[in-house]
Amino acid sequence: MSQKRLAVIGATGSIGRAALDVCRRFPEEFDVRALAVRSNIEELKKLVDEFKPKYVVIYDDVAASKFALHDESVKVLVGHEGLMQLIDEGMDHIVFASSGTEAIAALSASLDRKIEVSLANKESLIVGGPWIMEKASLADPLRPIDSEHNAVWQCLLGEDLNEIEEIILTASGGPFLHSSYEEMKLATPSRALKHPTWSMGSKITVDSATLLNKGFEVIEASYLFALPIEKINAVVQPDSLAHGCVRFSDGSVKMFLSEPDMRIPISFALSYPKRLKIGHLFHRLAITEKWTLDFLRLDENKFPCYSLARRALQMGNAYPPIIVGADEVAVEAFVEGKISIVDIFPLLEKVLLSYNGPSNLNGLEEAISLVEFGRRIARELCRLFSERR
């Protein structure tokens, strides 16, 4: 069997590193043909030395100008054009592990060309879900890497989607699960960035602390599995052992359990429909061991960002892109100490309510333009919130 020619977009982030570790352990399965990063050229050089790809893409022009390799066999591509060019370089599988909206066009083009896609980029579906999913093949679906969506995908394999009664995503609850509102109001960025389970970038970690991330995941699940948002809910599972559940019309429930390690969902997405033998890397969940699964109600009064994300989709497909852009600005302001973490919800809500255009859009370009609208209004509001502190 020939190796699968692989590209990893977002190669130096936490998801990208986990994907490359799977490739490292199965060199007979995967040929890492391309690596793409935004600006982390020092880490990129180390990965180039190890995996010896044929292509690298550096999205940031300034970082690209400082990048130099002795190996002239590696072709360096730059910016959006470089990312688009990569799609036509004979890849069998592309992992979209970057954050932000820059890779949406490349994702769309990959699906057009029937390239296998593994997706961990939330913004792509939240912003472009209606149009991205039109391009995903039923025979070879877009493969979700997020542990929750990957869990649901595995629970649904071989099932009749018309028999789904409810999808249940799980959340760890983040660092403020047992904190009061006053404690959250005074919380420093360093406290918010201490996630109890996962090691992630600062943006998604803060989103997990407000549980906006879980609201985003509900939107993603609605698009991925073609279900109304009313059939998708979330609960808190603090141990992060249960990643997703599906309730069927006959009353039965499938639940997906695993250790909280991203290599598990990534390995299945990369190798689907077979499984790679990586079980020796983790503690096995032996049925004979004494372990319990606690499920807690998600407190929407304490974590209103979760409900706001749900409401955004119910308002129309124009609103999720707005909240994506606004949240980028709000999280950055919080991390820089300009606003409190409890300011994020009212700020995002004000941005959503400031929009008076059509609630449903006609295409992906319109959706992407509304991300910038969300950023612009959020910047104005951040200044006001900061002045009041």
Reduced to 3 states (helix: H, G, I; strand: E, B; else coil), residue 383 is helix
Helix, strand and coil percent figures for the chain, each rounded to 5: 50, 15, 35
Sheet holding 164-171, edge to edge: 232-236, 164-171, 242-248, 253-257
pLDDT digits (tens, 9 = 90+) for 177-189: 989 988 888 888 8
DSSP 338: S
Q: Give CA angle at 123 (16, 307), nearest 5°.
A: 120
Confidence (pLDDT) at 346? 96
Question: 136 with 153: CB under 8 angstroms?
Answer: no
Confidence (pLDDT) at 195? 74
User: Shortest CA distance to 170 belongs to which of 232, 125, 121, 98?
Assistant: 232
Q: How confident is the model at residue 69 (pLDDT cuts 50, 70, 90)?
A: confident
pLDDT of 212 over the 90 cut = yes
- 147 vs 162: CA distance, rounded Å: 23
pLDDT of 295 over the 90 cut = yes
Q: What is the mean pLDDT of residues 274-298?
A: 83
Neighbours of 235 (CB within 10 A): 17
State both tokens at 254: 């499938």
pLDDT digits (tens, 9 = 90+) for 228-278: 999 999 999 998 899 999 999 999 999 999 989 999 999 999 999 999 999
Whose structure tokens read 């096995």?
Answer: 284
Higher local confidence (pLDDT), 341 or 389:
341
Q: Phi and psi dihedrals of 244, rounded to 5?
A: -175, 155
Q: What is the pTM of this model?
A: 0.94
Neighbours of 114 (CB within 10 A): 11
Confidence (pLDDT) at 139? 58
pLDDT digits (tens, 9 = 90+) for 190-208: 888 887 676 677 888 999 9
Question: 89 with 83: CB under 8 angstroms?
Answer: no
pLDDT digits (tens, 9 = 90+) for 128-161: 999 999 998 765 779 999 999 999 999 999 999 9
pLDDT digits (tens, 9 = 90+) for 38-60: 999 999 999 999 999 999 999 99
User: Shortest CA distance to 43 belongs to which of 65, 14, 23?
Assistant: 14
pLDDT digits (tens, 9 = 90+) for 304-344: 999 999 999 999 999 999 999 999 999 999 999 999 999 99
Q: How confident is the model at residue 71 (pLDDT cuts 50, 70, 90)?
A: confident
- 149 vs 137: CA distance, rounded Å: 17
